[in-house]
Amino acid sequence: MNLRLAVVNWRDPWHPAAGGAERYAWEIARRFAGEGARVQYVTCRARGQKRRERVEDVDFVRLGGRFTVYPLVLLWMLARRFRRGGSFDAVIDCQNGIPFFTPWVLPRRVPVLCVVHHVHDAQFDLYFPTWLARIGRILEGPVSLWTYRRHAFVVVSPSTLCAVRERLSWTGPTYVVPNGALVAEPIGVVSEPAGDPDLVCVTRLVPHKRLDLLLDVAQRLAQSRPGLKLHVIGEGPEAPALKTGIAESGLDGVVIAHGYVDEKTKAALVARADLHLSTSQGEGWGLSVIEAAALGVPTVACDVDGLRDAVRDEITGWLAHPDDHYADVVERALKELDDPGRRGEVAAACRAWAGEFDWARSAARMRDLVAAAVRDRRGPG
């Protein structure tokens, strides 16, 4: 594949705040490179990271910080445009709230696929003052619609497809390329319920993940199940608030905040859990849900965008609907799992569901879209 491709994403997989969007960009980039494409992954730079690095034949270019990365990426691409052989054949422009607006500086013949994980409109208010949140919504909405009007959106789930149509009013071409899953080998066999359940939550510690719901679950269930443990895996700006909440709620020893752990440790903690919890108010998909399912562990999640796609209600997990109390749904799920037959049925369904998602298939789908876009731009007219 003699293709020059840029993958532009807010962060890379080794950034301290990396999440599912970074896994998606990286899995796509490394597979393009593995097939012979010349791939440059353009992103921001965290403290201590190299400005230039080559990993698995992908060239990383790190520019600026949280906000300065946006103009610096455009300047970098503009400079390449005027170098001989410096432009790209195609660009995958990943939108994390707002995209990079790469069509502004690219030759018109270069196709851009704008990857949208989920629509952020309501989330801007959680992170920014009112005036800045309003600017974010304008950039995500009208400015993005105008910028990518001659290009295409790629979304990761049916929920996101609906959201870009209904909430952003996007009418252009849109393609679903789902996340894959790194399916682990099953660990052991389905065990009898232990009586002292282990719960686990794998998440970035940020406001829209609603960590207060986790503490509510722990408080409620610790009374009826004194041996209960809730393991929270991940880090982020809400880590101090989580630590304070645990102490103030008297949940030391019940809620265990692990922070960042390596993949092997994370898999071990998830695999031994009875339930995986997701309290987020909205996702593009729910990568941690599928990775838990691959280990036979069901999820209780809120019935919101993305998560209602990743969790098959009453089959691979349970959805807390708007009228439900989240802790009540967790308690109901644990009661069902007390039955060994039901536990085995759910675990088998989880593994089968996770097996339907594969990064190689997702990358092949993206490759076909990129190839078609490049061919169309080079064709007559």
Q: Report domain extents, the chain.
A: 4-180+358-378, 198-354
Q: What is the CATH number of domain 4-180+358-378?
A: 3.40.50.2000
296: which DSSP letter? T
The amino acid at 173: P
pLDDT score recorded for residue 192:
47
Confidence of residue 174 (pLDDT cuts 50, 70, 90): very high
Average pLDDT over residues 333-347: 95
Average pLDDT over residues 297-304: 94
- Tens of pLDDT, residue by residue over 207-217, are 777 888 899 98
Confidence of residue 225 (pLDDT cuts 50, 70, 90): confident
Average pLDDT over residues 148-168: 93
Average pLDDT over residues 162-169: 92
pLDDT score recorded for residue 253:
86
Confidence of residue 16 (pLDDT cuts 50, 70, 90): confident
Contact between 39 and 32 (Cβ < 8 Å):
yes
The amino acid at 332: R
Between 120 and 171, whose confidence is greater?
A: 171
Question: pTM score, two decimals?
Answer: 0.84
Same fold flag, 4-180+358-378 and 198-354: yes
Average pLDDT over residues 51-63: 96
Looking up tokens 């749904």, which residue turns up? 329
Which ranges constitute the DSSP H helices of the chain? 20-34, 69-81, 124-127, 130-138, 144-147, 158-166, 211-224, 239-248, 263-271, 287-294, 307-310, 326-337, 340-354, 359-378
- Tens of pLDDT, residue by residue over 262-280, are 888 999 999 999 999 999 8
Q: How far is residue 183 from each of residues 32, 188, 217, 273, 358, measured CA to CA in Å?
A: 21, 15, 28, 17, 8
pLDDT of 145 above 70: yes
Confidence of residue 378 (pLDDT cuts 50, 70, 90): low
CATH class label, 198-354: alpha beta
Is the Cα dihedral 126, 302, 232, 296 positive or negative?
A: negative
Least confident range from 22-36, 111-125, 178-192, 325-339: namely 178-192
pLDDT of 185 above 70: no
Confidence of residue 220 (pLDDT cuts 50, 70, 90): confident
Percentage above 90 pLDDT, the chain: 63
Confidence of residue 381 (pLDDT cuts 50, 70, 90): very low
